Structure 1
Amino acid sequence: MHGLSGTGLEPGFPAPWWAAAPLAEAATHADLPLRASELKRAGGYLEGRPREDFVAGRILVRVLAAGLLNRALPPRRRILPGELELTQYCPQCASTAHGTPSLGLPGAGDSFTLSYARTAGWLLLGLAPGTDRLGVDLADLDDRAFAPGDGGMLEDYAYAPEERAQLELLPEPERQRLRARWWALKEAVAKAGGEGLAGEGGIPAVAGKNRHPLLGSPGIRVLDLEPESIDSLGTMLPAHLVGSIVWAPTA
Structure 2
Amino acid sequence: MKTLVIIPTYNEADNVGWITDSVLTEQPEVEILVADDNSPDGTGDIADKLAEADPRIHVLHREGKEGLGAAYKAGFAWGLERDYDVLVEMDADGSHRPEDLGRLLDSARAGVPLTLGSRWVPGGSVVNWPKRREALSRGASLYARLMLNLGVKDATAGFRAFRRETLEAIDLAAVESQGYCFQIDMTRQTRLAGLEVAEVPVTFVERVHGQSKMSLDIVKEALTRVTVWGLLRMNPFRR
TM-score of the pair, normalised by structure 1? 0.36
Which is greater in Rg? 1
Q: Which is richer in helix? A: 2
Q: Which is richer in strand? A: 1
